[in-house]
């Protein structure tokens, strides 16, 4: 009998197959984008998204599950160009979970919602017997309005587009694994958890020529770009030297045998944009503290279709696949 | 240290206190209604709701967790008069969960969505290590449109209103507890899980004088009516003899020491309506197979404020409180 593996939740190849095989035929999931875009509802477009958060540990350097649950959904809405407006919070609690921890998490959620300018308007709480969950799981769902004229979709990606990355990779995943295993790195690694909606608003004010946008969470930069390559039918070529990997992340990855390209992030985005606007957009983005290290890290070619290629520092070219198996379970 | 008790998830008094004390001050939850009503979004009103489903067992007489998760959210939208349109599904799976069970549940969700006329447009899947969840938990969030002129809220309830119940109580809760404990009752008890949106549509076509509407799920008829009494500041007086309790539910409740007023339902609704329209509305409702046993079970008085009173079969009057403690955990 086939059973669910941890890798089915990893954001990588196994999850992709599970979703393609079993979810897409049953539900109306067209491209695996961060939010559903609902057209013609009241003559405007509305974005609608959901995410469950099962991160372990629930408190980690740079954030906690509550903040993560709010910003994660805010960012999913922002990635389709929506202004996040409303959110619901569905909590599953394990019997015996400390009320003080719950209070801390709720405070963290409301602070994050305020910071991101989103309103939590509905909720649900379930409690399961001791041993039947792990402290707390949080689902957040969000809706946002998409301004007229905005249509961001991997289907719009085309050859000659530039690939922009808003900051260094790997901080979130490594901060979780460090906390989980009692490791400390020098320099210390802190989660990049942050809301990206203000950044996106500024980007869209600068240009409408943003073709695709994603935040590389589970599965990391590699898996997210591979999904865009597959959906667009184009080839994405990256320059390894241009991808910023902080020294702490680099050291941790070497020690733990991880590839930073596959480590989860919670406060950066990838934008694939028309080459004519790329340089100006990078300048605009760098003015926002959340994206001060923005860089162009690659470009889009027409073939080989659906591939991501990485030009390595030593002059080779590596094929970048989706995360396979399960590098880091319960990272978000 | 205070800890979360199973009763915090029961839909009763403990949960009410938890939400009032810790959630309401932090989030924008005004009345504890089934869906948030978002005004002025694109000039129309949109309903938005979320619910997590942790029912155990996941397959039970009359339904399964997938169907329940779809209809539960459809019904929450319908209870504020909204036409359910879109839904997301967030799954938390335990490592080792049988893929065949997942397929059955996904099929059940898509069938239910089709039956209820709602589209599942987004999803999320997380997997946690074996022993850190219990098979499968499902969150569904939904949005719907509220037709112009519809404003259903417990705040509109007033003395002389009639209390309408759309069917017999207790079937869902008893079917779950029977399945969980390997009990069988004669006549057998089958969950009433069903979508109520078509019924609600017909009701609203008949009259706009529906003041409050709720589906009495966790906490049962008693807790739901008590919440409406508290929110409205009115007194709700019920006639015990008029509340339909099926023989199987009655027998099971006697055997298990349960009060059917507190047992969860998943396919009935309570409507509190202007007394001038009550009889005609009951007639309309009875034409729908899902509500063929609709009855007026009580009325609204002005005092004592916030109370629910039950006139018993033997001529006494009993004060009906919220469910206290935890009668039946993980019922939905």
Residue A306 CB contacts under 8 Å (≥ 6 apart), including other chains: A229, A230, A233, A234, A235
C-alpha separations of B244 from B127, B183, B292 in Å: 42, 22, 12
Which helix (H) or strand (E) segment holds residue B203: the answer is: helix B197-206
- Determine whether the interchain pair B48/A119 forms a contact, defined as Cβ–Cβ distance below 8 Å: no
Which helix (H) or strand (E) segment holds residue B105: the answer is: helix B99-116
> For B274, what's the count of Cα atoms within 13 Å in the CB-facing half-sphere?
11
- Determine whether the interchain pair A127/B52 forms a contact, defined as Cβ–Cβ distance below 8 Å: no
Q: Which residues pair with B60 in a beta bridge?
A: B63
Extended strands (E) in chain B: 36-41, 44-53, 59-60, 63-64, 83-94, 119-128, 136-146, 162-165, 210-214, 235-239, 270-273, 295-301, 308-311, 317-320
Measure CB to CB from residue A109 to each of B26, B49, B89 and give the nearest one.
Answer: B26
Q: How far apart are CA A139 and CA A264, in angstroms?
A: 18
Measure CB to CB from residue B134 to each of A19, A113, A128 and give the nearest one.
Answer: A128
Q: Say if residues A6 and A319 touch (Cβ distance below 8 Å).
A: no
C-alpha separations of A95 from A104, A146, B126 in Å: 17, 40, 21
- Inter-chain contacts counted by CB atoms under 8 A, chains A and B: 272
- Determine whether the interchain pair B121/A36 forms a contact, defined as Cβ–Cβ distance below 8 Å: yes
Backbone angles phi, psi at A16, to 5 degrees: -60, -45
Where residue B158 falls (left for φ over 0; alpha for ψ -120 to 50; beta otherwise) is: beta
Contacts with B, A 290-329, CB within 8 Å? 329
Q: Say if residues A202 and A276 touch (Cβ distance below 8 Å).
A: no
pLDDT top residue among B303 and A186: B303
User: How far is A208 from chain B, CA to nearest CA, in Å?
Assistant: 22
Torsion of CA A231, A235, A17, B66, to 10 degrees: -30
Contacts with B, A 59-88, CB within 8 Å? 85-86, 88
Binned at pLDDT 50, 70 and 90, residue B292 comes out as very high
Contacts with B, A 139-178, CB within 8 Å? 139, 141, 143, 145
Measure CB to CB from residue B4 to each of A56, A99, A134 and give the nearest one.
Answer: A99
| Smallest CA–CA distance from A28 into chain B, residue | B121
Q: Which CATH number fits domain A154-320: 3.90.650.10, 2.60.40.10, 3.40.50.300, 3.40.50.10860?
A: 3.90.650.10
The rounded percent of chain B whose pLDDT value lies above 90 is 74
- Determine whether the interchain pair A26/B99 forms a contact, defined as Cβ–Cβ distance below 8 Å: no
Two structure tokens written together for A94? 């394990």
A122 interface with B at CB cutoff 8 Å:
yes
Q: Say if residues B83 and B145 touch (Cβ distance below 8 Å).
A: yes
For B189, the 3-state DSSP assignment is coil
Average pLDDT over residues B203-222: 95
User: How far is B31 from chain A, CA to nearest CA, in Å?
Assistant: 10
Q: How far apart are CA A259 and CA A242, in angstroms?
A: 16
- Determine whether the interchain pair B41/A36 forms a contact, defined as Cβ–Cβ distance below 8 Å: no
pLDDT at position A42:
58
**Residues of A with Cβ-Cβ distance to B26 under 8 angstroms:** 106-107, 109-110, 120
Measure CB to CB from residue A6 to each of B44, B95, B145 and give the nearest one.
Answer: B95
The rounded percent of chain B whose pLDDT value lies above 70 is 92
pLDDT at position B329:
82
Question: Average pLDDT, whole number, for chain B?
Answer: 91
**Residues of B with Cβ-Cβ distance to A92 under 8 angstroms:** 52, 54, 92, 137
pLDDT at position A243:
97
Measure CB to CB from residue B129 to each of A6, A27, A122 and give the nearest one.
Answer: A6
A98: number of Cβ within 10 Å: 14
Measure CB to CB from residue A52 to each of B49, B97, B139 and give the nearest one.
Answer: B139
- Determine whether the interchain pair A99/B330 forms a contact, defined as Cβ–Cβ distance below 8 Å: no
**Residues of B with Cβ-Cβ distance to A79 under 8 angstroms:** none
B185 interface with A at CB cutoff 8 Å:
no
Interface test with B, best of A13, A58, A103, A124 (most B CBs within 10 A): A124
- Determine whether the interchain pair B18/A52 forms a contact, defined as Cβ–Cβ distance below 8 Å: no
A49 interface with B at CB cutoff 8 Å:
yes
Q: How far apart are CA A125 and CA A127, in angstroms?
A: 7
The string of DSSP codes covering A51-89 is EEE--SSSEETTEEHHHHHHHHHHHHHHTTT-EEEEEEE
**Residues of A with Cβ-Cβ distance to B41 under 8 angstroms:** 42, 46, 85, 145
A31-146 and A154-320 share one fold? no
Q: Which residues pair with B120 in a beta bridge?
A: B87
A19 interface with B at CB cutoff 8 Å:
yes
**Residues of B with Cβ-Cβ distance to A132 under 8 angstroms:** 56, 133-134
B265 interface with A at CB cutoff 8 Å:
no
Torsion of CA A205, A210, A212, A213, to 10 degrees: -30
A185 interface with B at CB cutoff 8 Å:
no
- Determine whether the interchain pair B122/A49 forms a contact, defined as Cβ–Cβ distance below 8 Å: yes
A267: number of Cβ within 10 Å: 24
Could you read off the pLDDT of B20-60 as tens digits, one per residue? 777 677 666 555 566 776 665 655 688 999 999 999 999 99
Walk along chain A (332 residues) and give the pLDDT tens digit of each residue: 788 787 777 767 777 777 777 767 766 655 556 677 666 565 568 899 999 999 999 999 999 999 999 999 999 999 999 999 999 999 999 999 998 999 999 999 999 999 999 999 888 889 999 999 999 999 999 999 988 889 899 999 999 999 999 999 999 999 999 999 898 888 889 999 999 999 999 999 999 999 999 999 989 999 999 999 999 999 999 999 999 999 999 999 999 899 999 999 999 999 999 999 999 999 999 999 999 999 999 999 999 999 999 999 899 999 999 887 766 789 89
- Report domain extents, chain A: 31-146, 154-320
User: How far is B254 from chain A, CA to nearest CA, in Å?
Assistant: 25
Measure CB to CB from residue B48 to each of A28, A121, A125 and give the nearest one.
Answer: A121
Q: Say if residues A73 and A217 touch (Cβ distance below 8 Å).
A: no
pLDDT at position B29:
59
| Predicted model pTM | 0.92
A98 interface with B at CB cutoff 8 Å:
yes
B264 interface with A at CB cutoff 8 Å:
no
Alpha helical stretches, state H, A182-219 = 197-206
Return the CATH number of the domain spanning residue range A31-146.
3.30.1330.10
- Determine whether the interchain pair A106/B26 forms a contact, defined as Cβ–Cβ distance below 8 Å: yes
Among B15, B46, B17, B115, which residue's Cα sits nearest to residue B332? B15
Q: Say if residues A124 and B8 touch (Cβ distance below 8 Å).
A: no
**Residues of B with Cβ-Cβ distance to A86 under 8 angstroms:** 36, 38, 48
């Amino acid at each position: 009998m086939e059973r669910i593996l941890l890798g089915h939740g990893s954001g990588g190849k196994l999850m992709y197959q599970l979703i393609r095989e079993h979810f897409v035929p049953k539900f109306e999931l067209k491209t695996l984008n961060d939010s559903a875009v609902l057209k013609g509802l009241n003559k405007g477009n509305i974005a609608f998204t959901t995410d469950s958060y099962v991160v372990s540990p629930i408190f980690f350097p740079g954030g906690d599950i509550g903040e993560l649950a709010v910003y994660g959904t805010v960012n999913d809405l922002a990635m389709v160009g929506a202004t996040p407006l409303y959110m619901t919070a569905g909590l599953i609690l394990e019997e015996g979970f400390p009320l003080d921890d719950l209070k801390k998490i709720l405070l963290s959620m409301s602070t994050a919602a305020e910071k991101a300018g989103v309103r939590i308007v509905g909720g649900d709480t379930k409690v399961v017997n001791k041993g039947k969950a792990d402290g707390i799981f949080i689902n957040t769902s969000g809706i946002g309005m998409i301004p007229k004229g905005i249509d961001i979709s991997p289907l719009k990606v085309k050859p000659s587009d530039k690939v922009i990355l808003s900051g260094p990779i790997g901080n979130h995943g490594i901060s979780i694994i460090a906390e989980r295993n009692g490791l400390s790195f020098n320099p210390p690694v802190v989660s990049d958890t942050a809301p990206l909606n203000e950044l996106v608003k500024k980007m869209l004010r600068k240009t409408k020529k943003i073709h695709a946008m994603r935040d590389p969470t589970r599965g990391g930069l590699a898996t997210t770009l591979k999904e865009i390559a597959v959906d667009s039918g184009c080839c994405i070529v990256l320059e390894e030297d241009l991808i910023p990997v902080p020294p702490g992340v680099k050291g941790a990855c070497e020690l733990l045998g991880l590839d930073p390209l596959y480590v989860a992030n919670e406060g950066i985005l990838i934008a694939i944009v028309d080459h004519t606007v790329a340089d100006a957009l990078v300048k605009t983005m760098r003015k926002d503290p959340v994206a001060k290290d923005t860089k162009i890290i690659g470009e889009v070619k027409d073939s080989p279709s659906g591939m991501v290629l990485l030009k390595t520092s030593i002059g080779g070219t590596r094929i970048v696949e989706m995360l396979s198996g399960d590098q880091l379970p319960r990272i978000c």
